[in-house]
Amino acid sequence: MRGLYPIVDVDSLRELGAAPHAILSFAQRVLLARPALLQLRAKHLAARDTLELLRELRPLCTESGTRLIANDRPDLAVLARCDGVHVGQDDLTSTQVRSVAPGMLVGVSTHNLEQLESALSELPDYVAFGPVFATASKERPDPTVGLTLLAQAHAAARRAGIPLVAIGGIDLERAKAVAEHAELAAVIGALQPKRGSLEGVSEAASALQAALGIR
């Protein structure tokens, strides 16, 4: 797994004026870059609506050869036949997720080196580390870690043989520097449609994929 890891964040898309039906259109444009993974994050969406979105994303991801990741909800991931689940520090552990969703990829968010080492000890399929830079995609973001700590996290993840995902404030300008210290870069803001228009989304995704070393 290398390159762009786009996150389809329902809250961010709605704030920018994208209608609910545009979420799938946005994902289709992002998938033209053929990322290794794509995550649906729907923090404030009802479970039934999240499940419906995951089920609609499933064939789109299959067609592009992209693994579909559900945020927080292994139960919905199983029902939607996702490829994996991503959990945070306040969610189930990797071990608990695998008991609910055996055979699925498991990714874990970490925000400091102590959390990273704890996550690595459970041997997830990948570990996310950040925010690397300031981000507006979370209401109460953790302190930024910067490139120096990202490099240390990458060294620890490589020793464990687990891919590292950099996350937080990553845009085209910062992508090349981030790619030196992570296998993947999770991106939300740099892919968001401008003024509610989906024009330019696929170009932005492809440019990020190229900057992160995938052409």
pLDDT tens digits, 132-181: 998 776 667 788 999 999 999 999 999 999 999 999 999 999 999 999 99
Alpha-carbon gap, residue 154 to 208, rounded angstroms = 20
Q: CA dist 42 to 35, 50, 51, 52, Å?
A: 20, 7, 10, 12
Q: Which pLDDT belongs to residue 196?
A: 72
Q: Which residue has the tokens 């520097």?
A: 177
Q: Is the pLDDT of residue 215 over 60?
A: no
Integer Cα distance of 53 and 142 in angstroms: 28
* pLDDT(112) > 80: yes
d(CA 172, CA 158): 25
Burial of 215 (0-12, 13-18, 19+ CB in 10 A): exposed
Backbone φ, ψ for residue 161 (5° rounding): 75, 30
Mean pLDDT of 22-26: 91
Q: Which residue has the higher pLDDT, 40 or 11?
A: 40
Q: Domains in the chain, start-ordered, CATH in brackets?
A: 3-211 (3.20.20.70)
pTM for the full predicted model: 0.94
Residues 6+ apart with CB under 8 A from 102: none
CA separation for the pair 174, 68 (Å, rounded): 25
Tens of pLDDT along 43-74? 999 999 999 999 999 999 999 999 999 999 99
pLDDT at residue 20, rounded to an integer: 61
Length of the chain measured in residues: 215
